[in-house]
Structures are given as structure tokens and as C-alpha cells.
Chain A
Amino acid sequence: MGFVGWILRRLAWAAGLLLSVAVLNFSLMHMAPGDIVQTIVGEMGGASEETMAQLTKAYGLDRGFLDQLWIYVSRVAQGDLGYSYYFNRPVLGLILDRVPATVLLVFTALAVAIIAGTFLGVMSARYPASWLGALVTITALFGFSAPVFWSGLMLLLLFASVIPILPASGMYDVAQGATGIAYALDVAHHLVLPALTLAIIYLALYSRLARASMIEVLGSDYVRTARAKGLSENKVVFKHALRNAVLPVVTVAGLQFSAMLAGAVLVETVFTWPGMGQLAFESILRRDNQLILGILLLSAVLVIIGNLLTDLAYRFVDPRIRTDG
């Protein structure tokens, strides 16, 4: 089975998975108490039975559960995720506006966590008795125990208030109205704090993981072979050992991709980063069911993409996985 076959099979699986997710989400939302009508009526400050019945009919809530489910799923299959009553816009457009910000945040944080975490782990494995090893251990313990919203607020306090070098909120400076490279730099400037906050907890975890894995690999027979070949220590560590040591990090990073997406909700709220997390937060507050369902589905898509990327990375790093499609 070739690479293309593998990808096609994975995509077929993904479609089935998304369908199950859509059904499950819809059923769960249906089971939850309260609906849009109650929220609207609540905001209107009360309404007559008649108006409520009218609204219920208008939103199709008077139909049976299976009927509603069928309508929802068949619409989703056609790419229609429904309409957000609160934002007064189609759900899909609303989410797609926000997806890039979240993807940017999550992937930056992931890249920072993996690269910096692995590097720190490797260095502390190479010099286990040094101050660096101790620093990595302490940072890891600290980073892993501190909750995201707290470390976010502390970083905010430090770099936006005490040493005001980084912007405290938003994604770009509205006043500047910059374009092109200036815009990209502006976004990057705004990205530093949220991405760092989201990365910290994973950076801590990955550095520990990479350290343990590196220590094991450095004691392996093939590293001894590489040394016996007369390679420099850097080649032994960064070529022969690292590629093997990074496997557990890739595995865990893939498994935690969804957790990171969830973490993004908090971080986006703290830093008013205009992503899906913030949208999710608002949609839940407003009981905007269609929007919630849309966000959940899109999150599932992102998680599936994340897992696919993990498997791709795995196949790239470890040739043993390539043969058994």
C-alpha cells in the first residue's frame, strides 16, 4: 500500500469520524436544558406563550429529535453549518474568520514547545550534572504546575506593564493599519505573549520527555556505534541520537493537540486574541447552539488534521513505520 492509498484511507476514516462527531454533538446539545427561545425571551424581558410558540416553530424546535438531527446532518454534509442568531451571520463564515487566528496561535505555540522543549531536553541530557539540567527540571516542574490563565496573567503583568515591551491584547494594532510585512511583524509582536503562555506548559512537558528519551538513547548500542565510527559529539547527539529521541515527543505532541486547542480558549480570553476560543466562549454564554455545534465540528476537523500531521511526521522520522502502511 503506497503513500497515496494511505492518505486516501485516512481521509475516508476522517469523514466517518466527523459524521459521528456531528451526530454526537447534536444529541448532547439537544439533551442539555434550555434553548435559543428561552435565551431570546430572557433578553427580551419575557414574552407571551403565543410568541414563544411562534419562535419555537420559527427555529424548527417543535419537530421531533430525529427530524431535527436529520436536517442538521444533511445541512452539514452540504457545508451549511447553520445561522448564528446572536451574531446574525452564517456560522461557517463566522468561524472561518476566526480559524486563522487560532491556527496561528496553536501552531506557533506547538512549534515553540516542541523545538525549545526538545532542545532544552537534549542539552540537559548531555550535561546532566550542570546548572542547565537543574534549570530545565525546575522550569519544567514550575511550567507544568502553573495553570494557563495564571501564567498568562503573570506574563501579561511582567511584559506589558512592568517592562512594557509587548502588547497586552488583540492581534494587531488597529491604529497603525499596516499592510504587508509591517502587518506580519505587528501580528508577530502581538503573538509573542499568547503563544508563549500556551507553549509554557507543553514546553515543560516536552523538555522532560526529550531529556528522559535522550538519556536512554545516548546509552543505546547504535550511539556507541556512531561514536566508534569517529563522529564528532555534535553529530552523534544531533544526528544519530536526536532523531530517535524525538519520537516520544512527536507522539505526545500529537495526542495533546486537542488539549492545546482547548487551552487556546483560555489564552484567547486572557489576551483577547480574536480566535475560535473566544468565539466559543461567547457562543456558550449566549447559548448560540448552532454556533457551538459549528465550533465543535471545526475543532474536530482541526484535531483530525493535527493527528494526520502527527502520523506524517512519524512516518518521516521513523522508517520502520513506512513499510506497514
Chain B
Amino acid sequence: MDSLLELEHLEVEFDTWDGRVRVLDGVSFSLAAGETLGIVGESGCGKSMTALAIMGLVPTPAGHITGGSIRFAGEDLVRAPQARLRQLRGNRIAMIFQEPMTSLNPVFTVGEQIAEAAREHLGLSGTESRHRSVEMLRAVHIPEAEKRVDEYPHQFSGGMRQRVMIAMALACEPQVLIADEPTTALDVTVQAQIFDLLQELRETKGTAIVLITHDMGAIAEMTDRVIVMYAGRRVEEGAVEDILDRPAHPYTRGLLACRPQLQLGKGAVRPALREIPGVVPPLHLLGRGCAFAERCPDAMPRCRDERPVETVVRAGHAAACWLLDERREAA
């Protein structure tokens, strides 16, 4: 499969009061045209930073990409000049954010905010770009698009604003759409609508999607492949069925166990909500070993001393855990 977007051993470091901290440590994945890739993990594990790095928006001056590559259609974005990145951003690669309430500029009409990208990248005129805005609002199923195009963000509900964000991101028909927790701030019913919309757009426009989330339900419904991140590292990668049904890494198993289970009926026992004990460690305190060792129920002495290498479990499914290595040796 030809990959459209390919990350190889991406490293991002931040200057902090505690010194230089590596927030992304050798993250790799590849995304084919039209594919949907899920990135899961707890807060602070580097999901959003991965997205920002792809967009060339790692916060400066504190953050730096210090290693690895991001290839988009063969072009290395890490080494590309800012001007080139700007041509791609919002044009070939677009992004939608977690907070639709604050991600739209309150002082411009939604139409203007959608049209802007089309004028910038497609060279459309004022009238053409306005038509484009209306067309995009229709595509994301906003009723009375001709009228609402001149309204301001505060006149829209949360779900509608996220639709506007999607319309804005898709205005130039990007090949890759990065959705960073697009439904976290929304009502459950609205969440489903937004996912349906993303599915539909992927099917009609063939846009490849990187879906960043901690919602395993969304992963199951939306994605083809999944990478699991922990403390800035990729700990597992695989097809969505493998990750959900046969997780190989203890962290992935922990994440899956945390899902609340719904049971109906009179005699249903309400199972206790599971959680992974502990929190993601401060990145500057990570030891030489596995980042998850401190919280891992199956940790061995080796896990604290040596960083686990990635082991292929089956075709397209790999995890970085010493347990897999042990098993193979035992077998």
C-alpha cells in the first residue's frame, strides 16, 4: 500500500524549567490515501503534539523537532521551509480541534472563516470563495446555509460549530484530515452525528483521516488501523480488530478495560469502573526502561532497565513490550 503520510522516528523536544524534555520519542506510522488511522492514549501522551508536528505548528520557541522525518507525498516536512508548510496547511493537510467553542474566531462570520482558506490556497475571488463557503456548509449539513454563512460563531451551537470547523478544514479538499478529539467537548448524540459526518466525507471525498481520541468506541467505529501512544512513544500498532480483540501491550489492555460497560435488565450487576493505577509519569523523570513499567501489572525487573524493542505479533500488528519477547523465548 502506498503511503500518503509517513512518520519515521519523529522526535520532538521542549525546553522547560526542568531542562530539555522529549515529548515525542521515535513516533512512526504511515497513512495510506483514504485510510483512517486512530491514535489513542491518555492525556499528555503526545497525541496532540504528533498532530501539531505534522501541521508544522509545534509551539515555538520552546518546542523543536529534533529528529526523524514526516513525509507527505514523498516530501519531508521536517526539512521544508515555513513558506512551503504554509502552502500545505489548510490545503493538502487540514486539522480540526477539540474545542469548537473556542477554535472559531468570534469576530468574523463563519462564511469568512471558511472562505479565507479557499482564497489563500485556491486563489478564489471574493464571490467564488463565498459560494464555496455556502457549498461547504451544505456539505456538512448545516440547514439554511445561504443565510447562516453570514452569521457569527456565537450564533451556532457546539455541534454546529464543529461542523463549521470541518467545513473550514475541508474547504480546499485536503488529502489528509487530522481530527484531534473532535467530539470530546460535545454531547453524546452530537458526537455520533459528527462521526457520521466524518465517515460520509471520507467516503465521498476519499480524505484520509488521522483520528486522535481516547474514546475506544470511536476507534471501533471509525478507524482501520490504530496506534497506541504512551509518554510520547508508540507502544502498539495494529489493525483495529487486532487492537480491540487481541491487544498485545499491557497498556492497551488497560485502556480497553477502562471502558464503562453497559448492562441492562433487573439482575444486572454493575461492575466497578476499572482504571489503570497511577498517572503518566513526568516526561523528564522517565528512566531507561519501559515508560509504562511503573504502572504495569506484569512488569519484570528487565522492564525498568531496558527499553523494550518492538515485537511483531502478527502481520501488521506490533507492540513494544518485553512480555512478548519472553513469550517467544518460552515458546
What is the interface of chain A, defined by CB distance below 8 A to chain B?
Answer: 220-222, 224-232, 240, 243-244, 317-320, 323
Contacts and interface: CB of A to CB of B under 8 A. Distances in A.
B167 interface: no
B57 A228 contact: yes
Contacts of A226: 105
B107 A224 contact: no
Contacts of B116: 229, 231
A323 B152 CA distance: 10
A221 B162 CA distance: 13
Given A222-B105, A228-B89, 14 more contacts: A221-B102, A222-B106, A224-B57, A224-B103, A225-B103, A225-B104, A225-B165, A228-B95, A229-B94, A229-B120, A231-B90, A240-B105, A240-B108, A318-B107
Contacts of A227: 57, 89
Interface SS of A by simple majority: helix
Nearest to B101: A221
Given A224-B57, A319-B152, A230 B88 contact: yes
B210 to A, nearest CB: 13
Contacts of B105: 222, 225-226, 240, 244
A244 B105 CA distance: 9
For chain B, give the interface size range. 20 to 34
B168 interface: yes
Nearest to B105: A222
B86 A230 contact: yes
List 3 A-B pairs, minimum CB-CB distance, nearest first.
A230-B89, A230-B90, A229-B90
7 contacts: A228-B55, A229-B117, A230-B88, A318-B106, A319-B109, A319-B154, A320-B152
Contacts of B86: 230-232
Contacts of B120: 229-231
A137 B22 CA distance: 34
Contacts of A243: 107-108
B91 interface: yes
B90 A221 contact: no
A39 B136 CA distance: 77
Contact of A229 (B99, B107, B109, B168): B168
B107 A225 contact: no
A317 B105 CA distance: 12
Residue from the set A228, A244, A320, A323 with the largest chain B CB neighbour count within 10 Å: A228
A225 B168 CA distance: 10
A319 B110 CA distance: 12
A317 B95 contact: no
Nearest to B172: A230
Q: Which residue among B97, B107, B155 has the maximum number of chain A CB atoms within 10 Å of its CB?
A: B107
Given A220-B102, A320-B154, A230 B117 contact: yes
Contacts of B154: 319-320, 323
B87 interface: yes
B304 interface: no
Given A224-B57, A320-B152, A229 B102 contact: no
Contacts of B55: 228
B152 A222 contact: no
B121 interface: yes
Nearest to B92: A230
Contacts of B99: 221
Contacts of A232: 86
Contacts of B88: 230
Nearest to A322: B152
